[in-house]
């Protein structure tokens, strides 16, 4: 596939994978992207997962049309992009490897060699002249590994963005980009908002007309939309108006309180109410929703003088990803010694800029009239 003049897509689609990185449900599979720039000198950007080495090499050879590549540009050393470096070097013994110093150190760990005789180390401000196409490199440490480098083709106005602007799903999956890109971002990159912001600042002055990520589709139109979303996500801003409710329930009483709150919020004209049963939903979807909306309610039972395991896991995911800039409300249930709100507050102490609602709901086994009044007050405060 031609991306733009002289640039070919040579990646692969993985339709067999069920869990990406061992934890993210990917019903529409994954794409491992790779690109070839055809010029006086030829550069191949990144390899693919080892299971697809044969298919990828066939794609590369077809794009080359009998020519020999001069450079392999390695932007990211995670194995779904780097696993075939050794295979590529064996196939093309004269090729030079262009990458960051940290990447070469990682190659030694993965392959037993850092290819010292082939190295072309690059850092911020480094350039590579292919003839017509002029490439410049920008380090993007911790987006989302420390060795990451982004590549900008100033001739074609193309940004090769490594894992940034990636998404779950194959390249031929027809779906809303933001849904799976958001879940991918907050699951995998979300902890590193500051680092993403730093990378965006480096790229701010570039004339970018096409974005070529290592996962998902090539982005060509309405790039401001994608850039603005990344700006919002990485600054932990609020993307959508609404309230997200995350809950666990053992015998249905906490669930009943959550359903009552959702109804009250809708009656009061709340723009959007999203409810996630943490025992049954995709945890990554719940995390995505928590970062999407500006207000969140955590509802759970006291369990072993702690909180129910799915809620504990959920809050752990939020804290790990630097959850911040949100309004948080609580619903707790405890038959004899309610502890849930206290435990959840303690877990959230590491988070920045959280505001807590004055209204809280404390249920003793099942809802009563006082609880209904508490839910009404909580809904009024959150609407």
pTM for the predicted model, two decimal places: 0.94
SS3 342: helix
Whether 231 and 238 have beta carbons less than 8 Å apart is answered as no
User: For 150-160, what is each residue's pLDDT tens digit?
Assistant: 999 999 999 99
Q: Which domains does the chain have, with CATH numbers?
A: 2-234 (3.60.15.10), 240-382 (3.40.50.360)
pLDDT band, residue 11 (cuts 50/70/90): very high
pLDDT for res 336: 86
User: For 50-92, what is each residue's pLDDT tens digit?
Assistant: 999 999 999 999 999 999 999 999 999 999 999 999 999 999 9
Please give the C-alpha separations between residue 184 and each of 191, 205, 284, in angstroms, as whole numbers.
12, 26, 8
pLDDT band, residue 205 (cuts 50/70/90): very high
Q: What average pLDDT does this structure show over 227-254?
A: 97
**CA 339, 344, 346 angle in degrees (round to 5)?**
100
pLDDT band, residue 208 (cuts 50/70/90): very high
Between helices 283-292 and 177-184, what is the axis angle to 10°?
Answer: 100
What would the two tokens of residue 52 be? Answer: 């697809």
User: For 328-356, what is each residue's pLDDT tens digit?
Assistant: 999 999 988 899 999 999 999 999 999 99
pLDDT for res 92: 98
- Helices assigned H by DSSP within 65-122: 79-82, 85-91, 101-111
SS3 278: coil
């Amino acid at each position: 596939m031609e991306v733009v003049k002289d640039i070919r897509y040579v990646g692969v689609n993985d339709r067999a994978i069920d869990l990406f990185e061992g934890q993210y449900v990917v019903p529409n599979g994954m794409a491992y992207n790779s690109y070839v720039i055809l010029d006086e000198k030829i550069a191949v950007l990144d390899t693919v997962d080892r299971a697809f080495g044969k298919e990828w090499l066939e794609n590369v050879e077809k794009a080359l049309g009998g020519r020999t590549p001069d450079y392999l540009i390695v932007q990211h050393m995670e194995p779904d992009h780097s696993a075939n470096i050794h295979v590529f070097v064996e196939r093309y013994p004269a090729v030079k490897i262009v990458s960051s110093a940290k990447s070469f150190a990682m190659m030694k760990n993965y392959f037993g060699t850092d290819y010292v005789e082939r190295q072309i180390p690059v850092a911020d401000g480094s350039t590579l002249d292919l003839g017509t196409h002029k490439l410049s490199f920008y380090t993007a440490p911790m987006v989302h590994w420390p060795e990451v480098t982004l590549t900008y083709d100033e001739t074609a106005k193309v940004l090769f963005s490594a894992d940034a602007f990636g998404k779950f799903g194959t390249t031929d999956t027809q779906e809303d980009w933001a849904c799976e890109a958001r879940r991918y971002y907050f699951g995998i990159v979300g902890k590193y908002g500051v680092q993403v912001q730093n990378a965006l600042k480096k790229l701010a002055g570039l004339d970018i007309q096409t974005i070529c990520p290592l996962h998902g589709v090539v982005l060509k139109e309405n790039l401001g939309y994608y850039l603005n979303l990344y700006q919002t996500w990485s600054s932990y801003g609020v993307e959508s108006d609404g309230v997200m409710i995350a809950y666990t329930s053992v015998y249905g009483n906490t669930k009943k309180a959550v359903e009552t709150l959702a109804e009250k919020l809708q009656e009061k004209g709340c723009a959007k109410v999203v409810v996630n049963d943490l025992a049954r939903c995709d945890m990554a979807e719940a995390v995505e929703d928590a970062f999407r909306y500006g207000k969140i309610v955590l509802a759970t039972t006291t369990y072993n003088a702690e909180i129910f395991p799915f809620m504990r896991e959920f809050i752990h995911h939020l804290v790990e990803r630097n959850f911040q800039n949100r309004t948080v409300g609580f619903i707790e249930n405890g038959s004899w010694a309610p502890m849930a709100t206290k435990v959840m507050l303690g877990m959230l102490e590491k988070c920045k800029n959280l505001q807590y609602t004055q209204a809280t709901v404390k249920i003793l086994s099942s809802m009563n009239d006082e609880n209904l009044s508490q839910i009404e007050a909580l809904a009024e405060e959150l609407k």
